[in-house]
Amino acid sequence: MEQKRKLKEKSDKPFAKAAAKYTIYNVHEENELMPFLMKVMNGISRTKVKNLLTNRVILVDNVIVTQYNFRLKPGMKVQISHAKNNREFRNPLLKLVYEDAYLIVVEKKEGLLSVGTESQRERTAQHILNEYVRSEHSGNRIHVVHRLDRETSGLMMYAKDEKTQHTLRDNWHEIVYDRRYVAVVEGSMEEERGIVRSWLTDHKLYVSSSLVDDGGKFSVTHYQTIKRNSRFSLMELHLDTGRKNQIRVHMAQLGHPVVGDSRYGSEIDPLGRLALHAFKLCFTHPVTGERMEFETPYPKSFKDLML
């Protein structure tokens, strides 16, 4: 009896409920994020919605969204975080350029692997981004779409889900309509512009090039000379194909290896890195159909070599 009395007294006492982390709104029809929020939040002003977006407290399907015109689809859920401000992504080796519920665009520094390997799993862009998206929801993870060499810096993207990953991979050449690199190569380039075509074969430790079809993969690189001096040439490169080490092999084939690329014939390394940077990435969004265009400046160290 005494035990029952104590249990009753305990049950009669008020208890603290766990505070909800989000206010959740379900999406029932297609709309843009701004008008959707203004409607469900009792006529909140555009300025206040933009402040919420800037403070990174609006999520769509557990992913922070900062676009006011993000396209919502039926079945999605919009969450308003009760936190004052969500922690912003910061990493010295990786810069967050763009993020939505489907994909993420980053600028990778040289020296960082794009994806994990058996010998290196943690110091990779893939690992860093997985930690970031899992901080919002434990079930989140990123999916690899394409890669940059460890010693190449620049823009690249990852998918947030398998469906988006497969759409991007299976339709890469239709979706990505402009991808460009800048490089500093050895010597003074003879031509203002040109095209390199060859068949590339991956031998794991290096890639070989052949001017005839020897079973390799056909590869096309367009090049334009931006500036030259007696020692170096600053080149802009546009790929029709995206083979492993394609630019590095094609520049070496022209007799002008990328500066710092000892694997393919460079004998000098004034920058302590491979002088190759992916500076432009343009594609049609695989879900919303929007044209997405991202560009970073040429690295200052590349320009300094041309002085």
The tens digit of pLDDT for each residue in 45-83 reads 888 898 888 888 888 887 788 888 999 999 999 988 776
- Rounded-to-integer distance, Cα 251 and Cα 182, Å: 12
| The pair of three-digit structure tokens given for residue 27, joined into one six-digit string | 């999406």
Q: Where does the pLDDT of residue 197 fall: very low under 50, low under 70, confident under 90, or very high at 90 and above?
A: very high
Per-residue pLDDT, 56 = 82
Residues 184 and 266 in one domain: yes
User: What are the DSSP E strand ranges found in 8-128?
Assistant: 22-26, 31-32, 58-60, 63-64, 71-72, 77-81, 94-99, 103-108
Residues 72 and 148 in one domain: no
Q: What is the CA radius of gyration of the chain?
A: 25
- Rounded-to-integer distance, Cα 293 and Cα 241, Å: 19
Look at residue 286 and tell me if it is in a domain. Answer: no
Global pTM value: 0.73
Look at residue 116 and tell me if it is in a domain. Answer: yes
Return the CATH number at 241. 3.30.2350.10
Look at residue 305 and tell me if it is in a domain. Answer: no
Residues 195 and 247 in one domain: yes
Look at residue 139 and tell me if it is in a domain. Answer: yes
The tens digit of pLDDT for each residue in 106-124 reads 999 999 999 876 665 668 9
Look at residue 287 and tell me if it is in a domain. Answer: no
Question: What range does the domain containing 273 cover?
Answer: 176-280
Residues 34 and 109 in one domain: no
Query: Are 114 and 108 spatial neighbours (Cβ–Cβ below 8 Å)?
Result: yes
Residues 272 and 189 in one domain: yes
Q: For the chain, how long is the longest CA-to-CA vector?
A: 99
Per-residue pLDDT, 218 = 95
The count of structural domains within the chain is 3
The 10 Å CB-count burial string (b at 16+, else e) for 46-73 is: eeebeebbeebbbbbbbbbbbbbebbbe
Return the CATH number at 64. 3.10.290.10
- Rounded-to-integer distance, Cα 136 and Cα 131, Å: 9
Look at residue 232 and tell me if it is in a domain. Answer: yes
User: In this structure, what DSSP letter does residue 91 have?
Assistant: B
The one-letter code for the residue type at 163 is K
- Rounded-to-integer distance, Cα 271 and Cα 302, Å: 8
Residues 270 and 192 in one domain: yes
Residues 218 and 276 in one domain: yes
Which of 12, 61, 149, 202 is flagged as catalytic? 149
- Rounded-to-integer distance, Cα 67 and Cα 54, Å: 9
Per-residue pLDDT, 54 = 81
Residues 268 and 213 in one domain: yes
Look at residue 292 and tell me if it is in a domain. Answer: no
Residues 264 and 222 in one domain: yes
Q: Where does the pLDDT of residue 6 fall: very low under 50, low under 70, confident under 90, or very high at 90 and above?
A: very low
Residue at a domain's end among 170, 203, 229:
170
Query: Are 174 and 168 spatial neighbours (Cβ–Cβ below 8 Å)?
Result: no
Look at residue 10 and tell me if it is in a domain. Answer: no
Residues 122 and 162 in one domain: yes
Q: Catalytic site residue 149?
A: yes
